[in-house]
Amino acid sequence: MKILLLADIHANWPALSAVVTAEEFDACLFVGDVVDYATDPAPCIDWLREHASFCVRGNHDHSVAQRVTVRPGGTFRRMAAAMRPHHFDALNDDHLTWLARLPVTEHVVLGGHSFLLVHATPRDPMDEYIANVEDQWQARLEHVDVDFVCVGHTHIPMELKLRNTTVINPGSVGQPRDGDNRAAYAVIEDGQVHFHRIEYDIDQTIEHMTASGIAEDVVRKASTVLRAGGNPTAHGGGL
């Protein structure tokens, strides 16, 4: 069985489209944050509703569904604050209801392997931010008994093997932050994890922001982040 693992699409339809055009799969797992940071959330949600086997809620999915105002902060918060109002025009009630009803965690058995899906960590499924730190992850897995824990949130690919469990972060489809601007995803086949990158039309994503009426300075910052594969000065927490 070939399982496509996706995370952190962030309303970037050109990036998601490039991934799903390139990959055939038997099942698709999505570990949260389909919205915010770009301006084309509707087709991303529509694709997941039709093709994803299991999805869980990310912190941005929750905030958009609940119409939460973005708190002041750094680069990523400013981007989310500028683009979130556009989401309320771009998404209909069905989209928002789907976001609101996404589970926070999901236990899945596929292809003879067990999976726990969360956006952040098993301890704090939507918000806790942990990178590739073995002892911290080991503490979070103390009462977890699955083959794979699939997460997102950091936007950085990771495979961490801990005792009988492997933690996988496929990286971000729509806003990578590891210095590689190509859309990131993972494929799990016969228990083996393979990380992939694919180029997409970043210009198309930026042009959609401009056409959506996003402020010019925000579009410039978004362009810098997307073209650089993340802004090293803006890392800090899950936004």
Residue tagged 């899945």 (tokens) = 108
Counting residues of the chain whose pLDDT is more than 90, the rounded percentage is: 86
Q: What is the model's pLDDT at position 236?
A: 41
DSSP label at 164?
A: T
Spatial separation of the C-alpha atoms in residues 71 and 232, rounded to whole Å: 21
pLDDT of 219 > 80? The answer is yes
* Tens digits of residue pLDDT in 15-57: 999 999 999 999 999 999 999 999 999 999 999 999 999 999 9
Interhelix angle 41-51/13-22, rounded to 10 degrees, is 30
pLDDT interval class at 132 (50, 70, 90): confident
Domain ranges (residues) in the chain = 2-104+172-234
Spatial separation of the C-alpha atoms in residues 73 and 1, rounded to whole Å: 43
pLDDT interval class at 238 (50, 70, 90): very low
CATH number of 2-104+172-234: 3.60.21.10
Spatial separation of the C-alpha atoms in residues 50 and 153, rounded to whole Å: 23
Average pLDDT over residues 49-77: 92
pLDDT of 133 > 50? The answer is yes
* Tens digits of residue pLDDT in 189-205: 999 999 999 999 999 99
* Tens digits of residue pLDDT in 146-175: 999 999 999 999 999 998 899 999 999 999
Spatial separation of the C-alpha atoms in residues 10 and 61, rounded to whole Å: 9
Spatial separation of the C-alpha atoms in residues 19 and 197, rounded to whole Å: 8
Which helix or strand (DSSP H or E) is residue 148 part of?
strand 148-150
Report residue 26 CA to chain centroid gap. Answer: 20
Phi-psi bin for 84: left (phi > 0), alpha (psi -120 to 50), beta? alpha
Residue tagged 């890392």 (tokens) = 235
